[in-house]
């Protein structure tokens, strides 16, 4: 049942993104920024945690989950070290994932030899 809920919630998030692109004619980059910001705002007010408890990976995998991670890291570090933590926490919490994404993208670019 957990897999079904994760699939349905993750699919609903992706379907919402597709509707924003098709109906409102937003560019994919605009939708991505909107979802990251929405994930951060929902995380800040505590709503995204409840969504994660309900949908688990269905809420963590879409790009809104990245916004949640950024906000969560910033808030955790702000509690730990104060105001400066708002600026450093996001990088500490999400830095590993960003580094892996950049390294894998570079490796794929070398292997696939893309044409510019």
Reported as a single tens digit per residue, the pLDDT across 42-59 is 998 999 999 999 999 999
DSSP secondary structure letters along 19-40: HHHHHS---HHHHHHHHHHHHH
Query: How much is the pLDDT for 116?
Result: 64
Q: How far apart are CA 77 and CA 36, in angstroms?
A: 19
Reported as a single tens digit per residue, the pLDDT across 54-96 is 999 999 888 999 999 999 999 999 999 988 888 888 888 888 8
Q: Residue 110 — φ and ψ, nearest 5°?
A: -70, -45
C-alpha count within 13 angstroms, C-beta hemisphere, residue 100: 4
Residue 33, exposed/middle/buried by CB under 10 A (0-12, 13-18, 19+)?
middle
Q: How far apart are CA 31 and CA 37, in angstroms?
A: 10
């Amino acid at each position: 049942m957990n897999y079904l809920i994760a699939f349905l919630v993750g699919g609903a998030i992706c379907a919402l993104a597709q509707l924003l692109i098709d109906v409102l004619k937003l560019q994919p980059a605009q939708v991505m920024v909107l979802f990251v910001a929405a994930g951060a705002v929902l995380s800040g007010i505590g709503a995204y945690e409840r969504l994660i408890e309900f949908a688990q990976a269905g809420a963590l995998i879409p790009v809104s989950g990245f916004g949640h991670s950024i906000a969560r890291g910033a808030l955790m570090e702000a509690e730990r070290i104060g105001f400066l933590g708002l600026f450093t926490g996001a990088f500490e919490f999400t830095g590993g994932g960003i580094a892996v994404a950049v390294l894998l993208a570079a490796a794929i670019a070398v292997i696939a030899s893309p044409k510019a």
